[in-house]
A and B are shown apart, each in its own frame.
Chain A
Amino acid sequence: MTFINYAAREINCKIVYYGPGLCGKTTNLQYIYDRTNPAAKGKLISLATETDRTLFFDFLPLDLGTVKGFKTRFHLYTVPGQVFYDASRKLILKGVDGVVFVADSQEARTEANVESIRNLDKNLKEQGYEISAIPYVLQFNKRDLPTALPTDDMYRKLNIKGEPTFEATATTGVGVFDTLKAVARQVLMELKKK
């Protein structure tokens, strides 16, 4: 649910990074946080366990500038990827405007990726959304690892609707901003239809 405040001339959009455990959702946010001008970002909040596994969510507010005289503010969230945190993932999808699916390129994580997309589809439906209708971007993360599958294989298994797809190495930032930009573009274009 995009929140457009005409009085304050602000648009607030919510983008959720989804994906299996340890695929690099938090790393994406961390990189965006590190590389964003301090005036344009808020605090990065991580509700994580002592071993740095996301427990509830990470949250990063970003002010990107103005579009048509409106300040655009993106709220980036990650979900906890581990299977047993499903109840938390559902909560975070509430009111989502766009989803980035971060897939782990390692061969051993193929099943986990497929399972996580299925889980995303199911949880979106429960909130009244269709994955085919909402802004959605796919990211193949960890391209730097020697065990990374060829992107063609991954695309065949994970592509849903011909969504924009990016190769990334979130630890060094490769593809991170391209992914964010692609989902932001779709979310803002969605406003046209309103």
Chain B
Amino acid sequence: MSAPDLVLYEEEFQKIKEALQRLRLDANANVVFLVDKNGQQIAAIGDLASLDTTSLASLTAGNVAATDGLARLIGEKEFSILFHEGEKDNIHISIVAQRVILVVIFDERSSLGLVRLRVRRATAELDKIFEEITQKVEREKDSLQVDFESPFSEITDDDIDRLFSE
């Protein structure tokens, strides 16, 4: 594996959601969400009803990956912020803790300056949470392997056949 699997504990997951909620209010944004660099959605807060968050996550990750590629081509490590301006809605994308992508969608009720400011504060907070997660995973790695039985250890061919039975 090129990157360790992402493990999210309930406690940190709650902290992440709280941080996103705060950012949404402070930045006056419509939607705030967090995606990992492979395009899997981690958490989302805001007006999600009319939004296809799965596609949004995948395209965001593709976008960041392509931009990372561009950065390396010209000798940059990464472009840490991407901003897309629309007629009504805008998207602000930034990297947190080197491995997750923070996306903020906002309209004329907010401004780029405000979003950037609030994102910076939220990023520091999220960095800390992800740092804690990494430490926790390290700490509990051994005990996890002993105590933790994967629910998939007893997966059978029949289980898989059933998925495709329709």
Measured CB to CB, the residues of A under 8 A from B are 1-7, 12, 14, 37, 40, 42-43, 45, 47, 56-57, 59, 61, 64-65, 67-70, 72, 75, 87-88, 91-92, 94-95, 127-129, 177, 181, 184-185, 188-189, 191-192, 194
Contacts and interface: CB of A to CB of B under 8 A. Distances in A.
B163 A72 contact: yes
B59 interface: yes
B6 interface: yes
B58 A67 contact: no
Contact of A94 (B10, B37, B160, B162): B37
B69 A87 contact: yes
Query: Top 8 A-B pairs ranked by shortest CB distance?
Result: A95-B38, A128-B2, A191-B152, A91-B65, A3-B40, A64-B163, A61-B54, A68-B151
Interface residues of B, number: 36
Contacts of A40: 166
Nearest to B157: A185
A94 B36 CA distance: 11
Nearest to A93: B2
Nearest to B3: A1
Contacts of A91: 62, 65-66, 68-69
A61 B162 contact: no
Nearest to A90: B69
B8 to A, nearest CB: 7
A9 B8 CA distance: 12
A28 B84 CA distance: 32
Contact of B160 (A45, A88, A188, A194): A188
B38 A14 contact: yes
Nearest to A126: B2
A150 to B, nearest CB: 29
Contacts of B160: 67, 181, 184-185, 188-189
Interface string B36-70: 11111000000000001011001100100110110
Contacts of B162: 65
Contacts of B159: 67-68, 188
Given A177-B164, A194-B5, 4 more contacts: A45-B58, A189-B160, A191-B155, A194-B150
A189 B62 contact: no
B154 interface: yes
A165 B33 CA distance: 40
Interface-centre pick from B3, B10, B58, B153 (highest chain A CB count, 10 A): B58
Interface in B2-48: 2-3, 5-6, 8, 10, 13, 36-40
A176 B159 CA distance: 20
A188 B152 CA distance: 8
A45 B38 contact: no
A34 B3 CA distance: 34
B69 A94 contact: no
